[in-house]
Each structure stands twice: as C-alpha cells, then as structure tokens.
C-alpha cells in the first residue's frame, strides 16, 4: 500500500497486513492533526519504506514528544503534514489512513485491509461517535472497553 503527504513530496509504502487499525482519540493525535480523531494504522517497522527520492531526510523533519522519547514522528518539510511515526519500543510504525492512495472514486485503495476495527483512547474524545465499533480506554483488547 502506498501513501504520501499532502503536497506529494514525501511518499512511502507499507507491506503486509496492519497489526492495528483504529480511530485514535488520544490528545497527542488531536493536537498533531487538529482533528477530533485520526485513523491510525500500525505495521511492523520492517514493513515500512520511504519511496520518495533519496536522501529521504532532506525532505523530512523528525521530532520527538518529550513524554514519548521512544517515538519519532516525521513530517514533510514542504507542506508540514505528519506522515509516519516510528516506535522503537514496540518495533512498529504508524501511518494515518487519510494519506493512503485513493481510487478514481476517492476511496482508499485496499480499504478492506485497513478499515478501522475500533476507537482507541476514547476517554479523551472530543465528540461521541455512534458507528457500532468498540470503544476502548486505551488500545483495543488491552484496556477497558467503554462501549
């Protein structure tokens, strides 16, 4: 599956199936995106590869939130879009579903493979979502279910 930032300067590919696909309502995602929640998709770190021309770092800003020093986030230097985070502690990377390639109708390619299965960190939500998916205090299956 392929993804890119808003302006297209940054691109990447992920292989295989996600280990998690959910709508995240954590305060970090809210503040990073400016939206009430994001569609986060986690893959094993080795499944991820930058596909824009090297040297990749020339087009990327990397930053670490002090509360999570094991997690490096990357964004495009041109348009500022967050495009990926690498979690050294868990050996995973995460991307946002909105960055994936779309078909001619505007639908995410391979949607059945990446569609969200739950809402995570729902306790810090900005709005209620009534879509039939499970709501979790933390990660799906690893925390208290809220609904």
Instruction: Give per-residue pLDDT as tens, 8-37.
Output: 999 999 999 999 999 999 999 999 889 999
pLDDT at 22: 98
pLDDT at 78: 96
Please give the domain boundaries of the chain with CATH numbers for all domains.
2-135 (2.170.150.70)
Instruction: Give per-residue pLDDT as tens, 69-120.
Output: 999 999 999 999 999 999 999 999 999 999 999 999 999 999 999 999 999 9
DSSP designation for 90: T
Please list the helix, strand and coil fractions of the chain in percent, rounded to the nearest 5, in that order. 15, 35, 45
pLDDT at 6: 96
DSSP line for 14-83 = E-S--SEEEEE--HHHHHHHSSS-EEEEEEEGGGEEE-SSSPGGGGEEEEE-TT-TTEEEEEETTT--EE
Q: Is the pLDDT of residue 147 over 90?
A: no
Spatial distance between the Cα atoms of 146 and 119, rounded to a whole number of angstroms: 10
Spatial distance between the Cα atoms of 52 and 54, rounded to a whole number of angstroms: 6
Answer whether 0.95 is exceeded by the pTM. Answer: no
């Amino acid at each position: 599956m392929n993804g890119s930032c808003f302006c297209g300067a940054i691109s990447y590919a992920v292989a295989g199936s996600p280990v998690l696909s959910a709508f995240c309502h954590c305060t970090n995602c809210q503040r990073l995106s400016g939206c009430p929640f994001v569609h986060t998709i986690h893959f094993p770190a080795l499944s991820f590869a930058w596909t824009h021309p090297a040297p990749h770092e020339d087009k990327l800003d990397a930053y670490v939130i002090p509360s999570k020093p094991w997690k490096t986030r990357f964004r495009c230097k041109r348009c500022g879009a967050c495009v990926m985070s690498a979690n050294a502690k868990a050996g995973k990377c995460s991307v946002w579903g909105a960055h994936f390639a779309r078909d001619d109708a505007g639908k995410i390619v391979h949607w059945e493979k990446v569609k969200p299965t739950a809402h995570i960190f729902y306790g810090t939500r900005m709005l209620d979502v009534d879509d039939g998916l499970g709501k979790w205090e933390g990660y799906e299956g690893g925390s208290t279910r809220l609904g």
